Structure 1
Amino acid sequence: MQKSVRYNEGHALYLSVIARKEGTKRGYLSKKTTENSKWHEKFFALYQNVLFYFDTDQSARPSGIYLLEGCTCERVPALKVSTVGKDALDKLHYFLVVFGHDGQKPLELRTEEESDCDEWVEAIQQASYSDIIIEREVLMQKYIHLVQIVETEKVAANQLRTQLEDQDTEIERLKSEIIALNKTKERMRPYHVHQEEEDPDIKKIKKVQSFMRGWLCRRKWKIIVQDYICSPHAESMRKRNQIVFNMVEAETEYVHQLSILVNCFLRPLRMAASSKKPPISHDDVSSIFLNSETIMFLHEIFHQGLKARIANWPTLVLADLFDILLPMLNIYQEFVRNHQYSLQVLANCKQNRDFDKLLKQYESNAACEGRMLETFLTYPMFQIPRYIITLHELLAHTPHEHVERKSLEFAKSKLEELSRVMHDEVSDTENIRKNLAIERMIVEGCDILLDTSQTFVRQGESCGVLSLIECTLIEEPDANDEDGEPVSLTHIFKHISTDEWRHASLAIYWPLFIYCSLINYYRHARKVSKLPAV
């Protein structure tokens, strides 16, 4: 036989008294009984995670107790009844308390006011001991933080009090000095009055002398200022300031262009790629734009720094901005290296009519001013050279003894080094791509073009297409000569028609002639020195 669970009835009664007087939520609710499914009005009181209900609000003992830890509470629709009394039931609002353990039936409650129902549901949902513990920890942390703030304020108040005492002492000392100076002035005043009364003409002479000294001083400074304005140094400073102002305007325009690229193309295309029928994939969007958004964020920070420097004009200090910018410009290497590939991916995506239509819709935006997406993708390609040109012009008008001279020269050298590295990487990448393109144009392929050490020298108009099948070296072995007859251009071009020979370019057939000559020379040397056969 299962034993009953014991509990401390006195403690439960004590908690019920506290809940009835100081509970989180108190009021009359209609409770549905489990025996006959009838509704009885009871007085409910919620205290922490325990729900008590009484027969009336004056009852000393609770009629029942519910432990709400781990339960859920939610609104439920009104019960389906006949039309008789339907209007009265529509005015009632029901909610259900589902307990987290098995064997406990849900508690069905109802109220007459909707706001009262919402308040009960919210209160029961928050009646969790674990939530109370978490809230207590948060409040304890806030309390500790406030205690630390109070201690800090006390220390600051003591320091201010000490400073005030020191200032009071200093004020007393200054007052004593002022009193002493006033006494000295009082003693010297009769002498000055007597002197003025005795020499009235001296005062006029002093006024004239003062006027002349002022006029000479102003004239001297006027000459100095005019000479400086006309000096080469002032002209150089004016040009230097103009270069800085032009750089700020160019940076403003560049940030605006990057903003259009990101806001009018990149982000809308990302959203389009996430649609049910995407006209473009996320990989293609990443390949086209790569790190354009990061470049925009970087230059927005740099632009804000430039505007802050302009606000402090005529003091213009730019070297520290370039010191911050230089380590982050390496992101341009990846963008420049990927630029040609991004244009190819964009051209391939334009073959899709849906994407082409969507792209034209984006390009018709008034902010684009009739410019295409390819134009905006090209702008970052010229930013590093623009910085190099700007620094070169800035150094041309910066004196050698200027405080920023060395920093600007260092920034210029770093940018030139980065530009060379980017140019070499782009050249290598383009060389490989052009070699692969030529290799794909050859019918039978050419493995030697797949070697990365091959360099693309020049590109021109093709005069004809030469098939390597028709240019195969044909050898007729001789009984007396195991090496066969020498290779000649007749063997190579015997399948080429007269029209093809007439239009053939020397740049195409000259390497074949050199190749045949080397083969013949090698065969002759092998006969003499018995070299292994090729």
Structure 2
Amino acid sequence: DLQHYFTVLFGHEGQKPLELRCEDEVDGDEWVEAIHQASYSDILIEREVLMQKYIHLVQIVETEKVAANQLRHQLEDQDTEIERLKSEIVALNKTKEKMRPYQGNQEDEDPDIKKIKKVQSFMRGWLCRRKWKTIVQDYICSPHAESMRKRNQIVFNMVEAESEYVHQLYVLVNCFLRPLRMAASSKKPPISHDDVSSIFLNSETIMFLHEIFHQGLKARIANWPTLILADLFDILLPMLNIYQEFVRNHQYSLQVLANCKQNRDFDKLLKQYEANPACEGRMLETFLTYPMFQIPRYIITLHELLAHTPHEHVERKSLEFAKSKLEELSR
């Protein structure tokens, strides 16, 4: 009778291989797949990714707590200011009552006096509106207003670029990484799990990181014209080591991909993935290259923001710190 066997080899020296028998070929494939899925190194990698996600979520919660405390203090200060203004209004009303002269019945007032008062009221209103119009026009034409307009435009462009980048990462992960990972688990895999990991190192984690960063940017835009961005870069900075690993691995990942393309089955499968309308005619190499330009893009954006951020601005130092850290990574 035809019998089916498979052998388990251990990486430790001196460990004898195990030869196991199974009832049929399907049973053997299921055992081999289960052993692949039970890789201890994969479990450690997944645990590390989960820990990184947990750390970021904790940082987000702490950031929101700080923002809530700042808002609470602002509300308390505003309540104090409101009470002070109420007291001033009461005092002014009392003073006005004391200074108001005795006025007779307005019906007995001279018609000419009424006309004069009406003209005076009209002129006072016109002079007041003209004064405020001049003040507003002077501010609109001032260097400070022009700088704030440019700063806001930089932030709006940053949000738009970040949205596009998150979409590119989404296509990379969902149209290439995850389908190839499933293909590597098939009976006749066109690519190994190790090659998938080498090509897409940290891609999924980077996508998760930028989804959080993008949501934070959109929340800041919702609070316009108050735009505080430094704490968002505080969320991004602890993950720079993951970007550093991706950058160092980039050339190797392209080399592994080129070697895999020598396999006709893999090359055919990859062309099917690249034909997805979401790819818009772009190849996998293009999507793998996008993260290489993201850190330099952030450095340029921070440089432009600092150029239009006053030296006494509350987040000036935080933006300078974020820029210096990103420059260290790009060297």
Q: Is the 8 A contact 1:196 1:203 kept in 2?
A: no
From 213, 223, 228, the equivalent of 1:317 is 228
* 1:169 matched to 2:80: yes
Q: Is the 8 A contact 1:243 1:390 kept in 2?
A: yes
CA shift digits 1:509-531 (9 cap, x unpaired): xxxxxxxxxxxxxxxxxxxxxxx
Deviates most, 154-163 or 113-122? 113-122
- CA distance change for structure 1 residues 201 and 252 in 2, over 3 Å: closer, same or farther? same
Q: Is the 8 A contact 1:91 1:112 kept in 2?
A: no
SS in 2 for 1:192: coil
SS in 2 for 1:110: strand
- CA distance change for structure 1 residues 419 and 213 in 2, over 3 Å: closer, same or farther? same
TM superposition shift of 1:233: 1.6
TM superposition shift of 1:210: 2.1
CA shift digits 1:345-364 (9 cap, x unpaired): 10110010000000000001
Aligned-residue RMSD, C-alpha? 13.6
TM superposition shift of 1:330: 2.0
Q: Is the 8 A contact 1:97 1:108 kept in 2?
A: yes
TM-score (norm 1): 0.44
Instruction: Supply the distance in 1 between the matched residues of 2:201 and 2:37 (Cα, whole angstroms).
Output: 47
Q: Is the 8 A contact 1:319 1:407 kept in 2?
A: yes
Aligned residues: 331
Q: Is the 8 A contact 1:364 1:370 kept in 2?
A: yes
TM superposition shift of 1:143: 32
CA shift digits 1:228-248 (9 cap, x unpaired): 222222221111111111101
Instruction: Supply the distance in 2 between the matched residues of 1:403 and 1:154 (Cα, whole angstroms).
Output: 18
Q: Is the 8 A contact 2:166 2:210 kept in 1?
A: yes
Deviates most, 365-374 or 308-317? 308-317
Instruction: Supply the distance in 2 between the matched residues of 1:370 and 1:341 (Cα, whole angstroms).
Output: 24
SS in 2 for 1:317: coil
CA shift digits 1:182-203 (9 cap, x unpaired): 9999999995453662455444
Q: Is the 8 A contact 2:3 2:24 kept in 1?
A: yes
Q: Which structure has more helix as a fraction of its residues?
A: 2
From 294, 297, 310, the equivalent of 1:386 is 297
Deviates most, 236-245 or 202-211? 202-211
What's 1:86 paired with?
none
Q: Is the 8 A contact 1:94 1:111 kept in 2?
A: yes
Higher relative contact order (CA 8 A, sep 6+): 2
Instruction: Supply the distance in 2 between the matched residues of 1:304 and 1:132 (Cα, whole angstroms).
Output: 29
Deviates most, 320-329 or 339-348? 320-329
TM superposition shift of 1:113: 41
- CA distance change for structure 1 residues 139 and 92 in 2, over 3 Å: closer, same or farther? farther
Q: Is the 8 A contact 1:363 1:370 kept in 2?
A: yes
TM superposition shift of 1:261: 0.1
Structure label with greater radius of gyration: 1
CA shift digits 1:128-151 (9 cap, x unpaired): 999999999999999999999999
Instruction: Supply the distance in 1 between the matched residues of 2:328 and 2:133 (Cα, whole angstroms).
Output: 47
TM superposition shift of 1:373: 0.4
Instruction: Supply the distance in 2 between the matched residues of 1:334 and 1:99 (Cα, whole angstroms).
Output: 28
TM superposition shift of 1:329: 2.3
- CA distance change for structure 1 residues 300 and 134 in 2, over 3 Å: closer, same or farther? closer
CA shift digits 1:409-453 (9 cap, x unpaired): 111111112222xxxxxxxxxxxxxxxxxxxxxxxxxxxxxxxxx
CA shift digits 1:22-73 (9 cap, x unpaired): xxxxxxxxxxxxxxxxxxxxxxxxxxxxxxxxxxxxxxxxxxxxxxxxxxxx
Instruction: Supply the distance in 2 between the matched residues of 1:273 and 1:180 (Cα, whole angstroms).
Output: 81
Q: Is the 8 A contact 1:290 1:335 kept in 2?
A: yes
TM superposition shift of 1:337: 1.0
- CA distance change for structure 1 residues 194 and 123 in 2, over 3 Å: closer, same or farther? farther
SS in 2 for 1:94: strand
Structure 1 unpaired stretches of 5+: 1-89, 421-534
SS in 2 for 1:303: helix
SS in 1 for 2:103: helix
TM-score (norm 2): 0.69
SS in 1 for 2:265: helix
CA shift digits 1:470-499 (9 cap, x unpaired): xxxxxxxxxxxxxxxxxxxxxxxxxxxxxx
What's 1:32 paired with?
none
